[in-house]
């Protein structure tokens, strides 16, 4: 019985350590995506991902939201293509952002308005 409790305790400790390590990796990726979003996307799509009304008016376009709810309706491949190649008046970022940065910013946008 004591041996069983020791194994359970060890397994819980290992699971806790792995959880903390994986959590820090996910947090770092979200943080990297947030920095890219703030630098390259926020001026048009807004801090909260709901769009910039003043810019919409100036450009006479509708800037789509990039919140978790809005992105749930699209697949990642489609969104990554829009980030890379642009769409409408939105420029593409394939030359400015690596594929990893594009994925990071998409992952960050999925956390907006949660």
CATH code for position 50: 1.10.760.10
90 three-state secondary structure: strand
pLDDT in tens, 11-64: 666 665 656 555 444 455 578 999 999 999 999 999 999 999 999 999 899 999
Cα–Cα nearest to 98, from 46, 32, 21, 16: 32
Q: HSE of 103 in the Cβ direction (CA atoms, 13 Å)?
A: 6
Number of domains present in the structure of the chain: 1
Is 12 part of any domain?
yes
* Tokens describing residue 23: 């959590």
Tell me if the pTM is above 0.85. Answer: no
Range of the domain at 31: 2-109
Is 114 part of any domain?
no
Sign of CA dihedral 106, 96, 56, 87: negative
Is 100 part of any domain?
yes
Is 75 part of any domain?
yes
Is 78 part of any domain?
yes
């Amino acid at each position: 019985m004591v041996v069983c409790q020791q194994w359970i305790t060890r397994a819980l400790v290992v699971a806790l350590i792995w959880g903390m390590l994986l959590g820090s990796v996910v947090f770092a990726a979200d943080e990297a995506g947030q920095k890219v979003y703030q630098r390259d996307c926020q001026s048009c799509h807004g801090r909260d991902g709901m769009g910039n009304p003043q810019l919409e008016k100036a450009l006479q376009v509708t800037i789509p939201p990039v919140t978790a709810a809005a992105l749930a309706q699209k697949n990642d491949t489609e969104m990554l293509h829009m980030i890379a190649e642009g769409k409408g008046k939105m420029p593409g970022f394939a030359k400015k952002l690596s594929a990893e940065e594009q994925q990071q910013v998409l992952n960050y946008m999925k956390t907006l308005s949660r």
